[in-house]
Amino acid sequence: MAMLPEFILLSLAFVILLGDLFLPKTTMRQWGALLALLGLVGALGSLLLLPQDATLLGGRFVMDQITWWFKLVFLVAGLLVVGFSADLLSGRIQDQKMVLDSAAEFLAVILFTLSGMLYLVSSRDMVTLYVSLELATIPLFVLTAWSKRDELSEEAGMKYLISGALASCFMIYGLSLIYGVTGVMELTQLDAEYATHPLVWVGLAMVTAGVGFKVTLVPFHMWAADVYQGAPTLVTAFLSVASKTAGVGVLFHLYIRVFIELIPDWSPVLAIAAFVTMTLGNLVAIVQENVKRFMAFSSISQAGYILMGFLGPTQEGVVAILFYLLVYAVSNLTVFGVIILYSSSTRRENISEYRGLSRTHPGLALIMMLGLFSLAGIPPLSGFTGKFFLFSAAAKAGYYWLVVAAAVNSTVSLYYYLRIVRQMYIEAPDGSEVRVQMSWMPRMALGLALIGTILLGVVPVF
């Protein structure tokens, strides 16, 4: 029973695929997104109702409170992205060039990758971990290259595939080294006595490199800008939230569940990685013109903040990471929701093309501003609360220099987030007629994301 959310997603994916095969061509275009949305609500409901402690398959599939929270983040991200996708799949948008082909397959692939992510955080041995990580990653290559009309999409798909496959090579080689020292596949049975073995260190470093690719830690972030820019905007939104959360899930496995004894030794390295990641992401984001590229660097810097939570092996660090993942998911998807809706009606992707959005679409501009402020960490929005927990976790671990650096970085990030707000609120519109249309599903998804962004900051969750 503990696997019910995964089963719902997988069977739904097959129902959508087979339904597309046997029903008239337009049925899934019109109703597929609604079906997927209902299925995701069902999976979310089963996650909320099922007990939070369960062990299946001889300890290879485990459900606990932390796993439960990760699954919640994945399902919320999936729910919002599928909500945004409704108009793009059904073709009820102005610009027919932005319509995504093969609606049923698109939804099925999204559901497959989501089920891979859900399995990933529950897996407790190397084989399941590896296979579910690939189940979460390979469909993302397909999604990135989805748009056949857009040559940037193919290019992004190729770059993502090559760097992703390279990262998984490093990861599997590192896992094989850890297996070579310990002789066991179950992550729960790795003994502390092996933790100081040099080969385990090499293996762990290689796995971190492979996973750092997914989390976009500097120096493994090179792919992010091109892939985020080239992929269809909907896929970029999904990548930036779900794929990053999956990577953090694997890091969490390794550093907190398995090799917790290593944290005092590794934390200087992690602290430097966090510092470099947030600083580089922030500095490069300042000069970006394309809004998707801009969001890529913004999300790189957010990965740096998340890494701060790993520094202290304390209860606070774990809670801070988990809370910030949900905050990041809703805030980032609030911003991306507006980007998706705006670009799907107007095909505008440059920051300067957001000028005067507050006159033409005051609601969208307000929502986007709140999302950006939450990412920047302005109280009382959720981003502030999340960053506060992360910073205090790092401070408790004694990394005061990192907390200062992160605070300075937050200020820098406010500057570039305000660049978009300035375009929307201070610059005059360029006079061309723009109309952003949306049906009830994107409206609802945007509203939910916004409510999450505000409520998580105001209502104490922990």
Assess contact for 68 and 118: CB atoms under 8 A: no
Site for another protein contains 286 (CB under 8 A) = no
> 174-203 mask for another protein (x: CB under 8 A)?
-xxx-xxx-xxx------------------
**Distance in Å, CB of 268 to another protein, minimum:** 27
Of 15, 34, 172, 418, the one binding another protein by CB under 8 A: 172
Measured CA to CA, the distance from residue 74 to residue 68 in angstroms comes to 10
**Distance in Å, CB of 117 to another protein, minimum:** 16
> 312-331 mask for another protein (x: CB under 8 A)?
--------------------
Taking CB under 8 A as the criterion, which residues in 201-260 touch another protein?
225-226, 229-230
Taking CB under 8 A as the criterion, which residues in 21-60 touch another protein?
none
Candidates 155-163, 275-283, 356-364, 420-428; binding stretch for another protein (CB under 8 A): 155-163
Tokens of 246: 């999956």
Output 168 or 282, the one with its CB closest to another protein. 168
Evaluate the omega torsion of the peptide bond into residue 380 and state whether it is cis, within 30 degrees of 0: yes
Of 1, 23, 165, 269, the one binding another protein by CB under 8 A: 165
Measured CA to CA, the distance from residue 340 to residue 338 in angstroms comes to 5
Assess contact for 337 and 240: CB atoms under 8 A: no
Closest CA to 61 of 14, 1, 21, 151: 1
Residue whose tokens read 């993942």: 325
Measured CA to CA, the distance from residue 238 to residue 458 in angstroms comes to 26
Taking CB under 8 A as the criterion, which residues in 100-129 touch another protein?
126-127
Count the alpha carbons within 13 Å of 268 in the hemisphere toward its beta carbon. Answer: 1
Measured CA to CA, the distance from residue 233 to residue 343 in angstroms comes to 8
Site for another protein contains 349 (CB under 8 A) = no
Output 158 or 418, the one with its CB closest to another protein. 158
Output 162 or 260, the one with its CB closest to another protein. 162
Q: Is 125 helix (H, G, I), strand (E, B) or coil?
A: strand
Output 101 or 265, the one with its CB closest to another protein. 101
- Residue 403, Cα to own-chain centre: how many angstroms? 24
Site for another protein contains 17 (CB under 8 A) = no
Measured CA to CA, the distance from residue 196 to residue 261 in angstroms comes to 9
Output 316 or 349, the one with its CB closest to another protein. 349
**Distance in Å, CB of 164 to another protein, minimum:** 8
Of 10, 108, 161, 390, the one binding another protein by CB under 8 A: 161
**Distance in Å, CB of 223 to another protein, minimum:** 11
Site size toward another protein, by CB under 8 A: 39
Measured CA to CA, the distance from residue 220 to residue 213 in angstroms comes to 5
- The per-residue DSSP string of 384-400 comes to HHHHHHHHHHHHHTT-H
Taking CB under 8 A as the criterion, which residues in 132-151 touch another protein?
134, 138, 141-142, 145, 148, 151
Tokens of 185: 């596949």
Output 54 or 158, the one with its CB closest to another protein. 158
The crossing angle, in degrees rounded to 10, of helices 25-49 and 103-122 is 20
Measured CA to CA, the distance from residue 45 to residue 34 in angstroms comes to 16
Handedness of CA 266, 272, 274, 280 (dihedral sign): negative
Output 131 or 378, the one with its CB closest to another protein. 131
Site for another protein contains 130 (CB under 8 A) = yes
Output 176 or 432, the one with its CB closest to another protein. 176
- Residue 5, Cα to own-chain centre: how many angstroms? 19
Candidates 58-66, 163-171, 233-241, 424-432; binding stretch for another protein (CB under 8 A): 163-171
Site for another protein contains 157 (CB under 8 A) = yes
Measured CA to CA, the distance from residue 324 to residue 301 in angstroms comes to 13
Output 44 or 258, the one with its CB closest to another protein. 258
CA 406 vs CA 40, 61, 125: distances in Å: 36, 36, 35
Residue whose tokens read 């600083």: 279
Output 162 or 269, the one with its CB closest to another protein. 162
Could you list the residues that contact another protein (CB under 8 A)? Answer: 126-127, 130-131, 134, 138, 141-142, 145, 148, 151-152, 154-159, 161-162, 165-166, 168-169, 172-173, 175-177, 179-181, 183-185, 225-226, 229-230
